[in-house]
Amino acid sequence: DAGVTQSPTHLIKTRGQQVTLRCSPKSGHDTVSWYQQALGQGPQFIFQYYEEEERQRGNFPDRFSGHQFPNYSSELNVNALLLGDSALYLCASSLVPGTNYGYTFGSGTRLTVV
Amino acid sequence: AQKITQTQPGMFVQEKEAVTLDCTYDTSDQSYGLFWYKQPSSGEMIFLIYQGSYDEQNATEGRYSLNFQKARKSANLVISASQLGDSAMYFCAMRDYGQNFVFGPGTRLSVLP
């Protein structure tokens, strides 16, 4: 039973570019959340998708956007990249929003902006 | 707003000994969950243990136990019989029902042979 899979694992982008990160949730899960983890810090919540809609959002600018597909997979898009966007981006999936159990994280995508 | 504080940036422990990682939290909510996650260098957040705010007994999961002191708003993680594979970052987090996680800054644990 595959867990949460994220792609790519690493990528390097130039300041000002746009990037798309992808996440496939754990089998049976329908809710996807995204987190940004800067070096040396704990993860920070970006947003959550359920039923193909953004349900909750953290304190991140509109440059961060997302999408959820009918198969529950999700994308995180970041426009006009800044050096400060360099971080590990973690995707987590769960069965319906709000549950405290079965919340599963992927291994993340490490984004470097140069 | 919820906040998690972890005051130990790094900890060292001898193999086979027990270690306590500190966590204090701040919330005005009555119902919440407290979690500990382990993050090895691979990046994946690995769930260790959960404590609900209304649970009267401290949670235990194998070698992990959570020392929950609600009045002091603390949720310390105790790892017994440390192993070399326990070396990693450890994050304390809290979550309201329906909300997403708020994480602390983490503690880097190094287990010495």
Q: What is the 3-state secondary structure (H, E, C) of chain B?
A: CCEEECCCCEEEEECCCCEEECCEEECCCCCCEEEEEEECCCCCCEEEEEEECCCCCCCEECCEEEEEECCCCEEEEEECCCCHHHCEEEEEEEECCCCCCEECCCEEEEEEC
* CB atoms A42 and B91 under 8 Å: yes
What's the pLDDT score for residue A103? 81
How much is the pLDDT for B76?
A: 98
pLDDT at A58: 92
How confident is the model at residue B112, as a pLDDT?
97
pLDDT in tens, A9-61: 999 999 999 999 999 999 989 999 999 999 999 999 999 999 999 999 999 99
Q: What is the pLDDT along chain B (113 residues), one digit of tens a residue?
A: 789 999 999 999 999 999 999 999 999 888 888 999 999 998 889 999 999 889 889 999 999 999 999 999 999 999 999 999 999 999 999 987 666 889 999 999 999 99
pLDDT over 90, % of chain A: 87
Distance between CA B28 and CA B16 in Å, rounded? 38
Tell me which residues of chain A have a C-beta less than 8 Å from any C-beta of chain B. Answer: 33, 35, 40-45, 48, 56, 58, 88, 90, 92, 97-98, 100-101, 103-108, 110
Q: Report the residue of B44, B55, B91, B100 to disrupt the A interface, i.e. the one with the largest count of A CBs within 10 Å.
A: B100
Give residues with Cβ within 8 angstroms of A61, minimum separation 6. none
**Which chain B residues contact residue A41 at CB under 8 A?**
105-106
Closest Cβ–Cβ partner in A41, A45, A108 for B100: A45
B75 closest CA partner among B20, B12, B11, B10: B20
- Report pLDDT for A1: 58
pLDDT for B95: 86
DSSP states of chain A as a string?
----EEE-SEEEE-TT--EEEEEEPPTT--EEEEEEE-TTS--EEEEEEETTEEEEE-S--TTEEEEE-TTS-EEEEE-S--GGG-EEEEEEEESSTT-SS--EE---EEEEE-
pLDDT at A98: 56
Indicate if the pLDDT at residue A110 is higher than 70: yes
Instruction: Yes or no: say if A46 and A63 are a contact pair by the CB < 8 Å rule.
Output: no
Per the CB < 8 A criterion, the answer to whether A50 and A102 are in contact is no
Mean pLDDT for A63-87 is: 98
Grade residue A100 by pLDDT with cuts at 50, 70 and 90.
low
